[in-house]
Structure 1
Amino acid sequence: MKTCFNTITAGLDRRLEDIIAACTKSGFDGMELDLRAIDEAASRLSINDIRQRLADGGLAAVSVMAFDLAPFAVDGAALDRFKRGAAVAQEVGAPILLTFCFAPVPEGMSEEAALEVAGKRAALYAEVAGPTKIALEPIGRAELMGGPVAALDIARRTGSANVGVMMDTFHYYLSQVPDADVLKIPLEKLFIVHVNDSEDRPIAELKDAHRMHVGEGILPLNHDLELLRKLGYDGYLSVEIFREQYWKQPVEQVVADAKSSLDLWLGTQEK
């Protein structure tokens, strides 16, 4: 499997060029690029500059993220942002657009009807994305798309081979996704995996801010890795953490700690 760093892990106000440099130094294989980081760097870096810096560092542009599926939206803001992200992804050479959905089922609407609406929305996104893949991200404890079964259902309804799912160790833990559901994910539909750990708190209390570096918390990561191996997954393991403690650290330190903890965990599991 290949290592990847999600720019979110370094913080929301960090310079993209500094994150790229740190990922190069630490030896990551790829990066997920938050559209906000790209926008922040726009006054300093063109998309071609970003592509070149990634290439010079031996880094793949793994995804551009993150976009709200917003299946029941009444305005065009989410779709407009997705369109912009799709254009950026093609320019920077990223094969995946990470798309989440935390929407509840609207009052008075059946789950089947809600999934149908979400499928049509995802189909529209797929049309906009063109050749770029869309990885649907279930959000922990979300009502409509809280796990891979619903995400795969929505992907199926699009009729597009370019719409699949992703796995996030934190969100799958929050939703208590059964092993059987993970093992039902077709390998060709599992586009990327986020790896992160978590503080030891009751599941109902856990939030994104409680994520930690791999191997430092209580998530069943060894078991998750075994499931991925059973699926035959050999793609990117991307470190995505929303921890303010890390965001206050120097970029180089956050990136180095993410890589060393990931390498230590993977190395332990390979023995």
Structure 2
Amino acid sequence: MKGFSLNQATTKRWPLDDLVAGCAAAGVEAVGLWREEVAEYGTDKAAALVRDAGLTVSSLCRGGFFHDPGWYDENRRAIDQAATLGTDTLVLVSGGLPDGSRDIDGARRQVGEAIGRLVPDAQAAGVRLAIEPLHPMFCSDRCVVATLDQALDLASPYPASVVGVVIDTYHLWWDDRVWDGIARAGREGRLASFQLADWITPLPSGVLLGRGLPGTGSVDMRRFARAVRETGFDGHVEVEVFHEDVWSRPGPEVLAEAIAGYEEAVA
């Protein structure tokens, strides 16, 4: 399945061995992995599993959370883990406000400074730091970077080969400036990862788990795919969905629907 990548989060309860085997059997080229599950399985073992199946790791999620104590050491471990897995893309979710703070501008400045501190480490490891903006409802606790323009501004002081951005349809579909932002990301060579997930309503009580498979919600996936394609982006397109109903279904069934949604979006 050329150009498609299954993000591990979409089939959260599918064991990694089965996920890799299922993707290989379906002709999938790549998988996006998550640090916690990879660490539990064993990073070296996971790297060998994916490599022996003939797959590529399109990205590793996640680094960031720069408001946490010990963020530097944790992100250094994330960079090393990405390098071991053979992926050149480490997704960064910036983190929210420090405890007791209301200074969102200061928090964003700190994110930029933290990324700058990590740049030499990432460059030495051959890993690109990919800043992911999240929907504004996550600013307080998960991600003070809420728009693509903010992500690009934070990336701009650093080499594009080392710091890029993530386009995630679930998080950016609402922003009427996103189309100019995607074009800017292309001009600046910053587009590191493109992820598909739909916005479904009503949202569940845990809004983080409100994503749908492509084609099941409100997002114009084709418009996003056209805009990204026009930048010259030729990386894998990940389907990354968080939803209890999706997680409860058999992995092969979800994979088949994710592929169908991808094909419809990028056709």
TM-score, shorter chain, exceeding 0.5: yes
CA contact (8 A) 1:65 1:98 kept: yes
Distance 2:249 2:202 in 1: 24
Distance 1:218 1:239 in 2: 16
SS class of match (2:132) = strand
TM-score, L = length of structure 1: 0.84
2:91 maps to 1:98: yes
**Structure 2 equivalent of residue 194 of structure 1:** 195
**Structure 2 equivalent of residue 240 of structure 1:** 240
- Number of residue pairs matched by the alignment: 257
**Structure 2 equivalent of residue 57 of structure 1:** 53
- Quote how far apart the aligned CAs of 1:30 are: 0.8
Deviations 1:2-27 (A, max 9, x none): 1111101111x442111111111222
Identity of aligned residues (%): 21
Letter in 2 for 1:250: P
2:138 maps to 1:137: no
Distance 1:30 1:14 in 2: 16
SS class of match (1:224) = helix
Deviations 1:170-205 (A, max 9, x none): 000255543222222135210110011121448xx9
**Structure 2 equivalent of residue 120 of structure 1:** 113
Distance 1:138 1:100 in 2: 7
- Structure 1 unaligned regions, length at least 5: none
SS class of match (1:117) = helix
**Structure 1 equivalent of residue 30 of structure 2:** 30
Distance 1:256 1:110 in 2: 41
- Quote how far apart the aligned CAs of 1:110 are: 7.3
SS class of match (2:120) = helix
Distance 2:33 2:104 in 1: 36
Letter in 2 for 1:139: L
Distance 2:223 2:175 in 1: 16
CA contact (8 A) 1:4 1:28 kept: yes
SS class of match (2:185) = coil
- Quote how far apart the aligned CAs of 1:120 are: 1.2
Letter in 2 for 1:156: S
- Quote how far apart the aligned CAs of 1:104 are: 4.4
Measured at CA, do residues 108 and 252 of structure 1 come closer, stay the same or move farther in structure 2, by a change above 3 Å? closer
Distance 1:252 1:151 in 2: 34
Letter in 1 for 2:7: N
- Structure 2 unaligned regions, length at least 5: none
TM-score, L = length of structure 2: 0.85
- Quote how far apart the aligned CAs of 1:219 are: 0.6
Distance 1:147 1:206 in 2: 22
Letter in 1 for 2:63: F
Correspondences of 1:8-19 after superposition (within 5 Å): 8-11=9-12, 13-19=13-19
- Quote how far apart the aligned CAs of 1:109 are: 4.4
Correspondences of 1:181-260 after superposition (within 5 Å): 181-187=181-187, 188-201=189-202, 207-260=207-260
SS class of match (1:182) = helix
Correspondences of 1:36-51 after superposition (within 5 Å): 36-42=36-42, 47=44, 49-51=45-47
- Quote how far apart the aligned CAs of 1:134 are: 0.6
SS class of match (1:64) = strand
Distance 2:179 2:40 in 1: 39
Distance 1:60 1:247 in 2: 23
Distance 1:254 1:149 in 2: 33
Distance 2:34 2:108 in 1: 27
**Structure 1 equivalent of residue 5 of structure 2:** 4
